[in-house]
Structure 1
């Protein structure tokens, strides 16, 4: 079995077929097909079911997909480890993060990493929820994940470090409230909100508060969390945001309030146990020092 065969196989899985994979890899489709046929022959199983012009993963193919990604990650780790002996930490690290975690602490981590390890490039992948972040790490799609979750993330071979407790804030248009720097849940009664779709930590907080307080209505539901603040500033409704957005919200002209008692969610760094690339280790070390 060759590395190239695994790369071709993973590309077909991720691009949804031979044609798109060949285009992405910039190889001729017949060469791609021959490589997969050879791989199937070596493994003694059929990896894809051919249905007309389309292909569907077989049960054996589904089992191999995640393992192939992990093997490729491990090979990259070996290569990077050898290079780092003479060059220091170099290479690329793929980081999965929910949007609030991508803002903070990931932005600050990247800034710190660029100072001490300029040879490391960070590529971030957006995830809707902590569960999606964890799955992306376990499946080998990313080496590292950063997310907020009420409980310590678990999974076979998964390592989790508590980073901090992220605090959620109320963000409103200017002049909406006449109160001090803190608000109580009872003050939300009668307010309208711009909310994210279900599965996010912010939406879970809204649903819990709405069930407890009552008379909290949804003015708009959005899939892209980056538009919540502009909608708040347009007066469409209030918003619930992680503390990483606080400075941006204030600079944009919104008013920001803390909850009393505080609403917090633990934030975690997660990665797979085992061989790590020098770039991944540099990212983890920088994160834990922060």
Structure 2
């Protein structure tokens, strides 16, 4: 059914006839009359009784008037909702985020998104690991993914944001006996507190760090508890420098030798993105330009 014709039908009723409706709609009277005839042919019934000097509704016309008004109202409501999403007055965004990025940079990104577009509702999904970030984006469960591991998939697009230096955060008594920066081979003797996942054991870490691990004192699934354990002297852990320096108290922060870096990446499917996802990417790009680069590696590393 042509919604334009339904609108013409309601206009004829509201304006009391073809002539006034045609004037209000800025169309010729014969064109409006023909449009009403077309609607009647589509419905297979006459909507107006034309036997008198004025058009009056038939029984079928009276029965159709209520549904016609509701139909037009529903269409207008849907159009308003679409406009609101397009203009970022409302909308939804699902994003799969690795646990290592949930403290930084996710809060900064989402807070800036809400500051600019408070009507957008964000759902943060907790993937099982780096491959699950890509998998959720591929399956459409998340529109965006945030990871700091390399992505090997031709089915998603990748935007690199910035590098993070991964440092060793450790209690001062452990740091006292270590050089600065800490050689990776020395890490084998340091008690470590590492993040674990209920799904597949120890949370993924870089291959270079994995080879350096020797003594795991605690494995814990709760990130905040890991930080508290390190601050209370249970062992050392690997963290992005920004988190180690701003979120942990009374700990020593040491670079490694050679220096370990990770690249923060946003993953998304090919094709058009929602306005909310586009706004998130724009904010991430702005933040990337403002973020200072991590300190360069020590000479000779």
Please confirm whether the aligned pair reaches a TM-score higher than 0.5, indicating the same fold: yes
Q: 1:169: Cα distance to partner?
A: 1.0
- State how far apart, in whole Å, the 1-side matches of 2:92 and 2:185 are: 47
Change (3 A) 1:235 1:163: same
The answer (yes or no) to whether the contact 1:233–1:254 under 8 Å persists in 2 is yes
SS in 2 for 1:202: coil
The structure 2 residue matched to 1:243, chosen from 236, 241, 244, is 241
Indicate the residue corresponding to 1:174 in structure 2.
172
User: Please, which runs of 5 or more residues in structure 1 have no aligned partner?
Assistant: 1-77, 211-215
Deviates most, 200-209 or 104-113: 200-209
* Cα distance in 1 between the residues matched to 2:160 and 2:90: 26
**Residues 207/180 of structure 1: CA separation in 2 closer, same or farther (3 Å cut):** closer
Structure 1 position 274 matched with structure 2 position 298: no
Instruction: Assess, with a 3 A threshold, how the Cα gap between structure 1 residues 110 and 102 changes in structure 2: closer, same or farther.
Output: same
Residues 87-121 of structure 1: per-residue CA shift (max 9 Å, x gap): 44521211110112222222111122122222222
Structure 1 residue 258 corresponds to structure 2 residue 255: yes
Residues 96 and 124 in structure 1, CA contact (< 8 A), matched pair in contact too: yes
Task: Between the two structures, name the one with larger relative contact order (CA 8 Å, sep ≥ 6).
Answer: 1
Deviation at 1:181, TM superposition (A): 4.8
Q: 1:209 aligns with which of 189, 209, 212?
A: 212
Q: Secondary structure at the match of 2:271?
A: coil
Q: What displacement does 1:219 show? A: 0.9
* Kept after mapping to 2: 8 A contact 1:169/1:240: yes
Name the counterpart of 1:112: 112
TM-score (norm 1): 0.63
- Structure whose CA Rg is larger: 2
1:89–1:243 CA distance, 2 compared to 1 (3 A): farther
Instruction: Map 1:114-193 onto structure 2 (within 5 A).
Output: 114-149=114-149, 151-156=150-155, 158-178=156-176, 181-193=180-192
State how many pairs are aligned: 204
Deviation of residue 133 (structure 1)?
Answer: 0.8
| TM-score, L = length of structure 2 | 0.61
* 1:286 aligned onto 2:283: yes
Does the 8 A contact of 1:160 with 1:271 survive in 2?
yes
Q: CA deviation at 1:246?
A: 1.6
Q: Residue 161 and residue 203 in structure 1: after superposition, are their counterparts in 2 closer, same or farther (change >3 A)? A: closer
**Structure 2 alignment gaps of length 5 or more:** 1-78, 288-301
Q: Deviations over 1:67-100 (max 9, x none)?
A: xxxxxxxxxxx99653345x44521211110112
| Structure 2 CA distance for aligned equivalents of residues 206 and 288 of structure 1 | 29
